[in-house]
């Protein structure tokens, strides 16, 4: 169950250096596609930063495709290993499958694959993960001398993020780079931070992309397939990708999402990079961030709700759900949750706010939550107004929460859930929403994109803020 904890903020730290502003969120049947490569058997390098949203399913990262008998691909397998393959005339002429499993949905991976392609020699295929060359493979079948590869093959389509059926990629992607005719090392795209030792990106814009290379920085929300390599390769066509798929969740500032690996009763489904959750049948879902201190703000859109369903709140990081209301528990499994149905709040094994204390939240409404773990207080609002005359900025009418000292150093996780057979669909906004924002508010550090004003002293849930305040 991956979690981002204080002091362990993954590839995003407070360190200075190159900053990546945007990523693209690939979901369901989204992909991008280019035209013909007009190249034959050139060496190449592929570099990409990726934060996976779904595990346990085949998902194609990148493919060079002629037909079902001739293609090159890099793909996550159903066992979450990474496959690099070249399929020629109905069989693999090259195939590597890692022993490593890529199952962390809370962190960014940097993947670099390079391949030499010198006529008369055996092409060498290299894989780097987070700056380190991968040497442990369950399958390791190299090219033979004079083998023809499908990568960069003349006259074929080169499909980025393309799969078929269950092979579609579900992930956040940033700094996607294809280098034509040059083999680069991982160190050309990243470096280890001298203070933290964490692998971080370098600016790739000065590299030689070659005639058929591409570079996606995803800076233009109206054209996320915009190729910034400055060569003759045209922009990529976008399929089922919208402007709202541009995200500020990146390899230099990782944002909180909900965690599909912490899906109690397996009753929830996930989409939009794990920030859209459809919860039913006592389903409970917790966040990838676990918090001990600081003041935090997030919003959520209630897409739809039925019956008495819908709960939002917090739970201790060690909690094991016995029902949909974490607030019905106490002790090490303590939690607090507000009912979207009637505005009551349960916490620490009992009711702490009666029905009607907060307004009900229905389909189309926006919920607001402010969490003050420095003073053990929490606040709930609806459509821009804090309930029960609360004011997070000055602490007015706060709901008190017990200080958590049990388990995991007292970490809290954000929680959403359903009830009985009734469903609630949440779209969470920890600062990088899956929906259009009409007003565009940020926190005091300039992070986040919120519908309503962030209370003074509260911050969006990303690793730059976590490094400073968490």
Q: Are 249 and 51 in contact (CB under 8 A)?
A: yes
Q: Residue 321 has what pLDDT?
A: 55
- Say whether both 308 and 406 belong to one domain: yes
pLDDT score, position 351: 86
Domain C-terminal end among 181, 212, 247:
247
Q: 426 with 334, same domain?
A: yes
HSE-up of 358 (CA within 13 Å, CB side)? 32
Instruction: State the CB neighbour count (10 A cutoff) for residue 350.
Output: 9
Q: What is the pLDDT of residues 271-286, one digit of tens each?
A: 999 999 987 666 678 8
Contacts 24+ apart (CB under 8 A), 266-271: 267/418, 268/418, 270/53, 270/54, 271/27, 271/28, 271/170
Average pLDDT score over residue span 349-366: 92
Same domain, residue pair 235 and 263: no
Tell which wins on pLDDT, 331 or 131: 131
Residues 6+ apart with CB under 8 A from 237: 32, 33, 34, 225
In a domain, 4, yes or no: no
The answer on 275 and 172 residing in a single domain is no
Whole-number pLDDT of residue 404: 61
Q: Average the pLDDT over each of 167-176, 259-268, 345-354, 363-372 and give the range with the smallest value.
A: 259-268
Beta strands of 39-142 (E only): which ranges?
44-52, 59-67, 70-76, 82-88, 91-98, 109-115, 125-129, 132-133, 137-141
Looking at residue 325, what is its pLDDT? 53
Q: Is 241 exposed, middle or buried (0-12, 13-18, 19+ CB in 10 A)?
A: buried
Do 145 and 234 reside in the same domain of the chain? yes
Tokens for 448, please give them: 């986040």
Q: Average pLDDT for residues 355-370, to the nearest whole number?
A: 95
Look at residue 18 and tell me if it is in a domain.
no
Domain count, the chain: 2
Residue 324: the pLDDT is 44
The reply to whether 85 falls in a domain is yes
Residue 233 is predicted with a pLDDT of: 85
Q: Which residue has the tokens 């779904």?
A: 54
Lowest mean pLDDT among 112-121, 162-171, 347-356: 162-171
Q: Is residue 9 part of a domain?
A: no
Q: What is the CATH classification number for the domain harbouring 338? A: 2.60.120.920
In a domain, 7, yes or no: no
* Same domain as 430, residue 295: yes
Quote the DSSP letter at residue 291: B
Query: Could you list the residue range(s) of the whole structural domain that residue 128 is in?
Result: 23-247
| Residue 186 counted as domain residue | yes
Among 337, 315, 328, residue whose Cα is nearest residue 259 = 315
Note whether 201 and 322 are same-domain residues: no
Residues 156 and 264 in one domain: no
Do 130 and 213 lie in one domain? The reply is yes
Last residue of a domain, one of 247, 267, 297: 247
pLDDT at position 166 is 61
Q: Say if 6 falls within a structural domain.
A: no
CA angle at 239 for the pair 236 and 244, rounded to the nearest 5°: 100
| Residue 46 clears pLDDT 70, i.e. is over it | yes
């Amino acid at each position: 169950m991956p979690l981002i904890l204080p002091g362990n903020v993954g590839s995003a730290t407070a360190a200075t250096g190159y900053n990546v502003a945007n990523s693209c969120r690939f979901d369901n049947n989204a992909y991008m596609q280019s035209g013909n490569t007009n190249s034959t058997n050139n060496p190449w390098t592929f570099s990409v930063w990726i934060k996976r949203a779904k595990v346990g399913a085949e998902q194609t990262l990148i493919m060079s495709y002629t037909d079902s008998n001739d293609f090159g691909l890099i793909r996550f397998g159903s066992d979450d290993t990474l496959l690099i393959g070249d399929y020629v005339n109905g069989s693999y002429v090259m195939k590597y499958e890692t022993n490593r499993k890529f199952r962390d949905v809370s962190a960014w991976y940097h993947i670099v694959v390079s391949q030499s392609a010198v006529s008369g020699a055996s092409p060498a295929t290299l894989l780097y993960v987070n700056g380190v060359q991968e040497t442990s493979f369950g399958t390791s079948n190299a090219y033979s001398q004079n083998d023809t590869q499908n990568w960069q093959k003349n006259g074929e389509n080169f499909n980025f993020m393309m799969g078929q059926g269950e092979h579609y990629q579900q992930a956040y992607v940033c700094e996607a780079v294809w280098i034509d005719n040059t083999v680069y090392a991982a160190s050309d795209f990243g470096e280890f931070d001298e203070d933290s030792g964490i692998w971080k990106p370098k600016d790739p814009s000065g590299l030689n992309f070659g005639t058929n290379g591409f570079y996606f920085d995803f800076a233009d929300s109206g054209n996320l397939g915009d190729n910034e390599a400055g060569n003759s390769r045209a922009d990529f066509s976008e399929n089922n990708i919208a402007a709202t798929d541009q995200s500020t969740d990146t390899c230099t500032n990782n944002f909180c999402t909900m965690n599909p690996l912490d899906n109690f009763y397996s009753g929830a489904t996930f989409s939009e990079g794990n920030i859209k959750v459809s919860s039913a049948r006592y389903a409970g879902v917790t966040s990838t961030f676990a918090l001990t201190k600081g003041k935090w703000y997030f919003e959520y859109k209630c897409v739809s709700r039925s019956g008495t369903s819908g709960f939002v709140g917090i739970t201790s990081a060690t909690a094991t759900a016995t029902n949909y209301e974490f607030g019905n528990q106490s002790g090490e499994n303590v939690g607090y949750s507000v009912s979207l149905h009637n505005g009551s709040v349960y916490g620490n094994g009992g009711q702490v706010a009666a029905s009607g204390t907060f307004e009900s939240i229905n389909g189309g409404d926006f919920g607001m939550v402010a969490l003050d773990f420095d003073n053990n207080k929490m606040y709930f609002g609806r459509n821009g107004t804090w309930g029960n005359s609360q004011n997070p900025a000055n602490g007015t009418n706060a709901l008190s929460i017990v200080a958590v000292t049990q388990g995991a150093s007292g970490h809290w996780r954000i929680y959403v859930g359903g009830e009985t057979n009734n469903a609630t669909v949440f779209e969470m906004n920890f600062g990088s929403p899956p929906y259009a924002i009409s007003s565009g508010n940020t926190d005091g550090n300039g992070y986040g994109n919120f519908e309503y004003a962030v209370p003074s002293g509260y911050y969006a849930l990303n690793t730059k803020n976590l490094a400073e305040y968490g």
